[in-house]
Amino acid sequence: MKQEKNGNFAVIPFKVRNDKSICPDAQLLYGEIAALCGSEGRCRSDTGYFAKVFGEPEKTIQQWIASLRKGGHITESTAIHDVELKNSRGVHEYMLAASF
């Protein structure tokens, strides 16, 4: 999935930066999500994209997203946007709403 950037910088609010329950890398992920948010405040991407950006396994990205969600900093929903012919599971994408 090709991702278009809306800005050249990331904004990480005070409440996210100072949340000690979230690791620094998850805080940076929040900034990446915020940078990708459009006018609707939503970022449509998948964990594979973020894994490439951060050079981390998708499992790690999922843990970071879970910590941001648990801290109340993002909400997450999953939608099937494409069905692979090889299996019937489909491809999931995440819509993350940054909480400013």
Closest among 76, 79, 75, 74 to 90, alpha carbons compared: 79
How do residues 23-43 score in pLDDT, each as one tens digit? 999 999 999 988 888 667 777
Closest among 78, 81, 54, 79 to 66, alpha carbons compared: 78
User: Using CA of residue 14, residue 18, residue 24, residue 30, what is the dihedral sign?
Assistant: negative
pTM value? 0.75
> How high is the pLDDT of residue 76?
75
> How high is the pLDDT of residue 47?
87
Which is it for strands 74-82 and 42-45: parallel, antiparallel or unpaired?
unpaired
Q: Which domains are present in the chain?
A: 14-98 (1.10.10.10)
How do residues 42-90 score in pLDDT, each as one tens digit? 777 888 899 999 999 999 999 999 999 899 888 877 655 544 444 444 3
Amino acid at 78: T
